[in-house]
């Protein structure tokens, strides 16, 4: 079946199923990260953190909780709106939540890299490591796909319906 033969309803269903499948990968990772972060204050070394490190920890923890909420939101949206004819809104909102969740995950992970490097080395090295981590996610998750899509052009393998 070509994209032209696909109905709007079938396209929305396919898009939602693809999005939910993609989110399964990130959901587990972000839940593990959040669980790990929740245990840190109960470790012996946590008391050694200075004020900046404690604030960074709290920012990273909040970012992880936000990422978890955003990445799991499409599942909740689907469950709340199941069989209510809201598929267009659902696909659009789920796409927005997934993108925002991935951005939050990139920031959170980069913040965690900063915190670990700050604990193990020094603040200057931590700043470089955290920044490089954020640049890595930006290049890998945003720049590379956009560059690839531009190179493929309008006749590429992707379609405007995706």
Secondary structure of the chain in HEC code, one letter for each residue: CCHHHCCHHHHHHHHHHHHHHHHHHHHHHHHHHHHHHHHHHHCHHHHHCCHHHHHHHHHHHHHHHHHHHHHHHHHHHHHHHCCCCCHHHHHHHHHHHHHHHHHHHHHHHHHHHHHHHHHHCCHHHHHHHHHHHHHHHHHHHHHHHHHHHHHHCCCCCCCCCC
The reply to whether 159 falls in a domain is no
Q: Residue 41 has what pLDDT?
A: 93
**Separation CA 40–CA 116 (nearest Å):** 12
Q: Residue 4 has what pLDDT?
A: 65
The reply to whether 158 falls in a domain is no
Residue 53 is part of which domain span? 3-152
The reply to whether 157 falls in a domain is no
**Separation CA 13–CA 57 (nearest Å):** 39
The reply to whether 162 falls in a domain is no
Q: Residue 143 has what pLDDT?
A: 95
pLDDT tens, position by position, 23-81: 888 888 898 999 999 999 999 999 999 999 999 999 999 999 999 999 999 989 988 98
The reply to whether 161 falls in a domain is no
Count: domains in the chain: 1
The reply to whether 14 falls in a domain is yes
pLDDT tens, position by position, 79-100: 898 888 888 899 999 999 999 9
Taking the model in full, what pTM does it have?
0.83
Confidence band of 115 (pLDDT split at 50, 70, 90): very high
Cβ(87)–Cβ(79) below 8 Å: no
Mean model confidence pLDDT for the chain: 89
Q: Given a cut of 70, is residue 161 above it in pLDDT?
A: no
């Amino acid at each position: 079946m070509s994209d032209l033969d696909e109905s709007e309803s079938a396209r929305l269903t396919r898009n939602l199923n693809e999005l939910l499948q993609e989110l399964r990968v990130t959901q587990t990772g972000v839940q593990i990260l959040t669980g790990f972060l929740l245990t840190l204050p109960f470790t012996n070394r946590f008391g050694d953190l200075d004020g900046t490190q404690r604030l960074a920890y709290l920012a990273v923890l909040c970012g992880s909780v936000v990422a978890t909420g955003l990445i799991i939101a499409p599942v909740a949206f689907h469950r709340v709106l199941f069989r209510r004819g809201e598929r267009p809104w659902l696909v659009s909102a789920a796409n927005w939540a997934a993108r925002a969740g991935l951005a939050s995950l990139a920031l959170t992970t980069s913040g965690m890299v900063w915190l670990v490097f700050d604990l193990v080395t020094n603040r200057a090295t931590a700043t470089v490591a955290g920044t490089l981590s954020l640049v890595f996610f930006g290049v890998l998750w945003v720049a590379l796909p956009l560059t690839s899509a531009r190179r493929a052009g309008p006749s590429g393998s992707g379609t405007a319906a995706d």
